[in-house]
Amino acid sequence: SASPRAEAQPAGANYDESKVPDYTLPDPLVAEDGTRVMSPEQWRDVRRPEILRLFSELMYGKTPGGRPERMRWEVVDSSDDALDGLATRKQIRIFFDGRDDGPRMDLLLYTPAAAEGPVPTFLGLNFRGNHTVFPDPAILLPDGADEADRGERRGRWPIDVILRNGFGVATAWYFDIDPDVKDQWSDGVHPIFYAEGQDRPLPDEWGAIGAWAWGLSRAMDYLEADEDVDGSRVIVLGHSRLGKTSLWAGAQDERFALVISNDSGCGGAALSRRRFGETVERINTTFPHWFSDSFNQFNANEDSLPFDQHMLIALIAPRPVLVCSAEEDLWADPRGEFLSAKHAGPVYRLLGADDLGVDEMPPVNTLVGGTIGYHIRPGAHDVTLRDWDVFMEFATLRLGRAARR
Ligand code: GCU
């Protein structure tokens, strides 16, 4: 019979380690033509582009373009005396295709008022709107949002603690980039790239995760230009579906200096082949708009994937990456998340970076690793102050705090 921990998870999935099937992971260091990748140059010139293309065409969908030529932004609010003098606050409205009435994203940025130069900065999307991340009455309300929800997600966004530790923090609401609803291909940023007469992505074009990741890169376009932010030390992070998104953003956009996945699970850090907790078929059924349609061919057919999620982590190499899990979050398969981090190791080593350095899952509350880090905390699927402590500890170890690298 199922453990109480498994009973608290969505029904109808496997939560029994002994029922994980045998599987063989594709080797990140063997190219499609069978050549063994022996040098950093071969990785960079041959194998990395190959893997990036596979994830694009078969899973997240192809990202049709980068920064639109007509994209522009306006700093619509700025204060150097925010949060009782603790912070400098800016709110930047990014008009993705330049039009006033086109798709746009409000980026909220806090940097420590006491900072003497540009600071390393966390960038992550939020689930419920910028106004929910902290009870600052100056945060712009999204259309139709409720005043009463100000600061409602504060537990996930300890902005004051982050600032006191010398980091900046930037966030935007993921609905601004693409509303998280099934089959609404007419809204969000998808239409910017449609060809004449097109009204939904082609089978191998981006779904919502691809669009959200693209939005993170557009936020990065702004952060690189802001003099309070150290553009060489932007940390992209995300929780759950937005952790899948931060990994895909970090894989594609090498301007992100460090990548953090929190409880990202299936389609994020967890290995698909384990079929533990959420599976490819389940995620494609419940959230058909997240991935490209081409991903459906792997429903109950994981062994034919030409990659697994350890190769998504490998795309981030040699940049630091931190994978975080929660012990009770079996739906996201903590062990599968750990194993992805571990099996990305050969690529990190080839590029002269440290791998995870351990073979077994660490006990709870113990950060392990080198350039690849892994942490599991007690408790459920969430972002907690403990998670942020680990994010900041890892970022400080890998990128340093106040001084430039
Ligand atoms: C669902 C989904 C997960 C996702 C999570 C979230 O549980 O099945 O894949 O990570 O929502 O985003 O909170």
Average pLDDT, the chain: 96
CA 2 to chain centre: 31
Check if 283 has its Cβ closer than 6 Å to any atom of ligand 1.
Answer: yes
How many whole angstroms from 241 Cα to the centroid of ligand 1? 5
Mean of pLDDT values over 329-355: 98
Q: Report d(CA 391, CA 405) in Å as an integer.
A: 18
Q: Structure pTM?
A: 0.98
- Going from the Cα of 143 to the center of ligand 1, the distance in angstroms, rounded, reads 25
Q: What is the mean pLDDT of residues 208-223?
A: 98
Active site residue 239: no
pLDDT at 1: 54
Distance (Å, whole) CA 402 – CA 405: 9
Burial classification of residue 286, based on how many CB atoms lie within 10 Å of its CB (0-12 exposed, 13-18 middle, 19 or more buried):
exposed
pLDDT for the residue numbered 402: 55
- pLDDT for position 13: 96
pLDDT greater than 50 at residue 405? no
Predicted ipTM of the assembly: 0.97
Confidence of residue 4 (pLDDT cuts 50, 70, 90): confident
Angle at 52 between CA 49 and CA 54, to 5 degrees: 110
Give the position of tokens 């969505």: 10
266 CB within 6 A, ligand 1 = yes
> With pLDDT > 70 as the criterion, what percentage of the chain qualifies?
98
Q: How confident is the model at residue 183 (pLDDT cuts 50, 70, 90)?
A: confident
Q: What's the whole-number mean pLDDT along residues 133-157?
A: 96
User: Which pLDDT does position 199 carry in this prediction?
Assistant: 94
Share of the chain above pLDDT 90, in %: 96
89-112 pLDDT, tens per residue?
999 999 999 999 999 999 999 999
Q: Is 323 left (phi over 0), alpha (psi -120 to 50) or beta?
A: beta
293 alpha carbon – ligand 1 mean position (Å)? 18
